[in-house]
Amino acid sequence: DTAVSQTPKYLVTQMGNDKSIKCEQNLGHDTMYWYKQDSKKFLKIMFSYNNKELIINETVPNRFSPKSPDKAHLNLHINSLELGDSAVYFCASSQNEQGASGYTFGSGTRLTVV
């Protein structure tokens, strides 16, 4: 039973489209994250939610909007997709916002914008 599951695993879409990536964790963790890994493999945090409340919002275009309907879900919606949005997006969770017990990562969503 997957602890942190992301869907879809691969997403190919045209510029200008709107798309969503879903993330669910069944670990009972309070905190969830979205990370972006660019073509150079550099990992950067985008958002963090603790108990459905936004606690980290890095400098990310406002075309990216996270939604947390409950603490087990953190979805990422992207409007007006651009070529530069192509990357691998990882969802993760931790017991609390201090990262207690480490992080559990999803398997990633490879987004390709054409």
Q: How many CA atoms lie within 13 A of 64 on its CB side?
A: 19
Q: How many CA atoms lie within 13 A of 62 on its CB side?
A: 0
Nearer to other proteins by Cβ, of 1 and 14: the residue is 1
**Smallest gap from residue 86 Cβ to other proteins (A):** 14
3 binds other proteins (CB under 8 A): no
108 binds other proteins (CB under 8 A): yes
98 binds other proteins (CB under 8 A): yes
Select from 29, 39, 30, 22 the least CA-distant residue to 109. 22
Among 19, 44, 76, 114, binds other proteins (CB under 8 A): 44
